[in-house]
């Protein structure tokens, strides 16, 4: 039986692992066949005098020998990498035994080195990809129109994008690590804490609220909370996404206000005709009574108050219609600063001495395209509103300046971006709640407990809208109110803001009724309401015209066909039948150009402007005797030419 040493030596020599033994002095003692074969591929010859230190040198291998690990003080093992230019790398392991001998093993490290190289390249590629992905996600998170935050269960902010941090006037780095209670406004936390608690319990939560930001700024925000829950375990936090919906809500409010005013306009134009017909009857019957000598005793006590009330009703109808842009608007380039300064003394005389009005202009102002009369009335309404809010004690600041409307704000207000004139009227009065602020421009809404008509601020709103501007109110209870108006300057294409005008109607000087009793001619009155027709007949005959009556356009044509000498036709716009007043006027102007045609209505005339017949004057019901005289003035300046019907019409 072979001794153990012989067996070990046989195993050593037959091992496929290239191995060599060096004695305690570092000299080569033994090599196996695999070791010799590997060295032969490298053209290295082993000899007994070769030492360990010489063997691991670059001189022997003709290639760099890299120490990978070990070979420090007290170490018993070290590793080398012999890197060959042809890529056939060798891994050399040196281990020192207890008796001082050293065992050297060699391995072909080409595959391992290639794997390591591929792994290094893969790690570098994935690292670059992760960096690029993180940069893309960071860019998206910072540019997306929403605030994004990651909050743990203790309300510590783990992440915040730029938009979320910027809303609070800080950077994301300043926000990360802080508690949400230290960043968000106490009012915001009070309102949203219950939603945060739901998210901490694993619920998906969406809610909308008004958020208070630094410097007393407010935004309407829609917030989405999504819990962060590992695959196994409790919720460890939640993600927060806040979307600013202030502009959307402002747009919706503006749209609803516009629709409300448009509906009001349709309603007002519909009822104004009937209402003004009623006033025409009332005034038409009351005014003649004041001229009768037997009514002297009741004129002052009964007739004049009734006439005054009827006229106030007519004025109220006119104001109501004007709210919805249904009235003529005389827009002209106007110096706003000069207009304000001119009415400044009037404003001061309209408030008590305990209330101070301060006027300040911050920049040179361009002209604005507005109706000056309506502008002055709007300013007066706002100042008087501020006077009532301060109870006549305090301060009103009127500030004029310029403002460049950016595209984002212009889109909300549905206005062109560009240069505007800014006018603010601020008081330190009682202020208003948010609910009240949303209603103040509604027609007939008033907070003055019956002391107001509810049309003052509605008229201001109508003027601003008609001027292609915008109005905004900022108010809080106990902190006063500020109304800010933006009006377009002349460089914003003033022709685009020119309001539609009525046809060019001459304005002759008023004429007096004939004193000698001679009639001006024969007029045909076309009106479907018998009571209105009776009142108008009395008014028309009172200044020298004889009157025939017709209930509709067809009756009028029949009368014209039977009666000679008709010099004028005065017709209502809305009548039953296939032909209304405008169609009748067109027919008469074409068939009988010598006739003096007048149209009348309780509705605003410019609603029909696009189909209005040329050179036809208009009377707004109820009209005065003087307005009627002015309308028929051309009959006194040109010879009256009677209408002569054809024989065919006479045959009927």
The two tokens of residue 192 are: 């949203």
Asked whether the beta carbons of 415 and 468 are under 8 A apart, the reply is yes
Domain-terminating residue out of 108, 136, 161: 108
Which residue, 558, 570, 563, is CA-closest to 644? Answer: 563
Residue ranges of E strands in 60-177? 65-70, 77-82, 90-96, 102-108, 147-152, 157-160
The per-residue pLDDT for 261 is 62
Q: Tell whether 336 and 476 lie within a shared domain.
A: yes
Q: Tell whether 182 and 315 lie within a shared domain.
A: no
CATH number reported for the structural domain that contains residue 437 in this entry: 3.30.565.10
CA distance 514 to 79: 132
Q: Tell whether 153 and 72 lie within a shared domain.
A: no
Q: Tell whether 532 and 606 lie within a shared domain.
A: yes
Residue 228 lies in a domain: yes
Q: Write the Ramachandran bin of 649: left for phi over 0, alpha for psi from -120 to 50, otherwise beta.
A: alpha
Residue whose pair of structure tokens reads 């300013």 in the numeric block: 379
Residue 78 lies in a domain: yes
Residue 255 lies in a domain: no
Task: Supply the DSSP string of 401-445, one letter for each residue.
Answer: EEEEE-HHHHHHHT--SEEEEEEEEEE-S----HHHHTTTTSTT-
Q: Tell whether 529 and 565 lie within a shared domain.
A: yes
CATH number reported for the structural domain that contains residue 586 in this entry: 3.40.50.2300
CA distance 161 to 148: 5
Chain length of the chain: 652
Residue 32 lies in a domain: yes
CA distance 591 to 594: 9
Residue 381 lies in a domain: yes
Residue 123 lies in a domain: no
Residue 502 lies in a domain: no
Q: Tell whether 307 and 338 lie within a shared domain.
A: no
Q: Tell whether 466 and 571 lie within a shared domain.
A: no
Domain-terminating residue out of 57, 88, 108: 108
Number of domains comprising the chain: 5
The per-residue pLDDT for 413 is 73
Residue 130 lies in a domain: no
Phi and psi for 81 in degrees, rounded to 5? -125, 120
The per-residue pLDDT for 468 is 84
DSSP state of 27: B
Q: Tell whether 214 and 298 lie within a shared domain.
A: no
Q: Tell whether 319 and 337 lie within a shared domain.
A: no
The per-residue pLDDT for 605 is 59
CA angle 333, 421, 210 (to 5 degrees): 140
Helix (H) or strand (E) holding 161: none
SS3 readout for 257-298: HHHHHHHHHHHHHHHHHHHHHHHHHHHHHHHHHHCCHHHHHH
CA distance 650 to 523: 19
The per-residue pLDDT for 296 is 64
The number of beta carbons lying within 10 Å of the beta carbon of residue 392 is: 13
Helix, strand, coil percentages (3-state) for the chain, rounded to 5, are 45, 25, 35
Q: Tell whether 35 and 72 lie within a shared domain.
A: yes
CA distance 213 to 187: 10
Which residue, 537, 564, 558, 557, is CA-closest to 548? Answer: 537
Q: Tell whether 476 and 542 lie within a shared domain.
A: no
Measuring CA to CA, how many Å separate 582 from each of 271, 329, 540?
A: 19, 22, 21
Structural domain range at position 285: 266-323
CATH number reported for the structural domain that contains residue 222 in this entry: 3.30.450.20
The per-residue pLDDT for 156 is 92
Domain-terminating residue out of 323, 341, 358: 323
The per-residue pLDDT for 189 is 86
Residues of the chain with pLDDT under 70: 1-2, 72-75, 85-87, 113, 231-232, 254-274, 291-297, 299-301, 312, 314-330, 443-455, 493-520, 604-610, 634-652
Q: Tell whether 338 and 313 lie within a shared domain.
A: no
The per-residue pLDDT for 424 is 93
The per-residue pLDDT for 641 is 44
């Amino acid at each position: 039986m072979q001794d153990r040493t012989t067996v070990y030596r046989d195993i050593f020599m037959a091992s496929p692992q290239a191995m060599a033994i060096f004695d305690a002095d570092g000299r080569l003692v033994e090599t196996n066949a695999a070791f010799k074969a590997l060295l032969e591929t490298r053209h290295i010859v082993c000899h007994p005098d070769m030492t360990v230190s010489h063997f691991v040198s670059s001189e022997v291998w003709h290639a760099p020998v890299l120490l990978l690990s070990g070979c420090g003080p007290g170490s018993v093992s070290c590793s080398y990498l012999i890197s060959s230019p042809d890529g056939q790398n060798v891994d050399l392991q040196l281990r020192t035994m207890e008796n001082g001998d050293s065992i050297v093993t060699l391995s072909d490290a080409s595959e391992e080195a290639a794997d390591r190289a591929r792994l290094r390249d893969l790690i570098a590629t994935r690292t670059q990809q992760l960096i690029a992905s993180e940069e893309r996600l960071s860019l998206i998170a910072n540019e997306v129109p929403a605030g994004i935050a990651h909050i743990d269960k203790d309300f510590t902010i783990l992440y915040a994008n730029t938009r979320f941090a910027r809303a609070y006037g800080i950077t994301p780095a300043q926000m990360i690590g802080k508690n949400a209670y230290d960043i968000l406004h106490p009012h915001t936390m009070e309102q949203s804490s219950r939603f945060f608690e739901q998210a901490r319990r694993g619920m998906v939560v969406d809610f909308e609220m008004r958020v208070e930001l630094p410097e007393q700024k407010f935004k309407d925000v829609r917030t989405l909370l999504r819990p962060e829950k590992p695959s196994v375990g409790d919720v460890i936090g939640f993600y927060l996404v806040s979307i600013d919906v202030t502009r959307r809500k402002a747009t919706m409010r503006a749209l609803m206000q516009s629709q409300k005013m448009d509906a009001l306009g349709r309603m007002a134009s519909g009822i104004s005709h009937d209402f003004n017909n009623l006033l025409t009857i009332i005034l038409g019957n009351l005014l003649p009574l004041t001229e009768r000598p037997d009514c002297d005793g009741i004129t002052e006590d009964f007739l004049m108050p009734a006439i005054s009330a009827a006229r106030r009703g007519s004025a109220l109808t006119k104001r109501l219609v004007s709210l919805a842009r249904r009235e003529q608007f005389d827009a002209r380039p106007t110096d706003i600063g000069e207009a304000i300064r001119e009415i400044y003394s009037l404003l001061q005389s309209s408030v008590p001495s305990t209330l101070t009005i301060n006027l300040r202009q911050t920049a040179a102002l361009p002209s604005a395209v507005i109706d000056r009369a309506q502008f002055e009335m709007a300013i007066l309404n706002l100042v008087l509103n501020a006077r009532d809010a301060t109870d006549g004690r305090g301060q009103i600041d009127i500030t004029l300046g310029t403002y460049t409307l950016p595209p984002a704000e212009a889109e909300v207000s549905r206005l062109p971006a560009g240069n505007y004139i800014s006018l603010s009227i601020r008081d330190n009065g009682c202020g208003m709640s948010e609910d009240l602020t949303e209603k103040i421009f509604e027609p007939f809404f008033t907070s003055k407990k019956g002391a107001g008509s509810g049309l003052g601020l509605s008229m201001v709103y109508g003027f601003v809208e008609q001027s292609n501007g915008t109005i905004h109110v900022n108010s809080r209870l106990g902190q006063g109110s500020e109304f800010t108006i933006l009006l377009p300057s002349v460089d914003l294409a003033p022709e685009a803001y020119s309001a539609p005008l009525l046809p060019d109607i001459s304005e002759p000087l008023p004429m007096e009724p004939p004193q000698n009793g001679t009639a001006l001619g024969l007029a045909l009155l076309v009106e479907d309401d018998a009571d209105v027709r009776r009142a108008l007949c009395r008014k028309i005959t009172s200044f020298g015209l004889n009157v025939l009556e017709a209930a509709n356009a067809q009756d009028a044509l029949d009368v014209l066909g039977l009666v000679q000498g008709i010099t004028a036709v005065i017709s209502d716009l809305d009548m039953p039948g296939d032909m209304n007043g405008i169609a009748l006027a067109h027919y008469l102007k074409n068939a009988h150009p010598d006739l003096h045609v007048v149209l009348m209505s309780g509705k605003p005339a410019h609603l029909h402007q696009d189909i209005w017949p040329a050179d036809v004057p208009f009377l707004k019901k109820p009209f005065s005797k003087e307005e009627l005289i002015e309308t028929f003035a051309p009959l006194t300046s040109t010879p009256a030419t009677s209408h002569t019907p054809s024989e065919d019409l006479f045959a009927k």
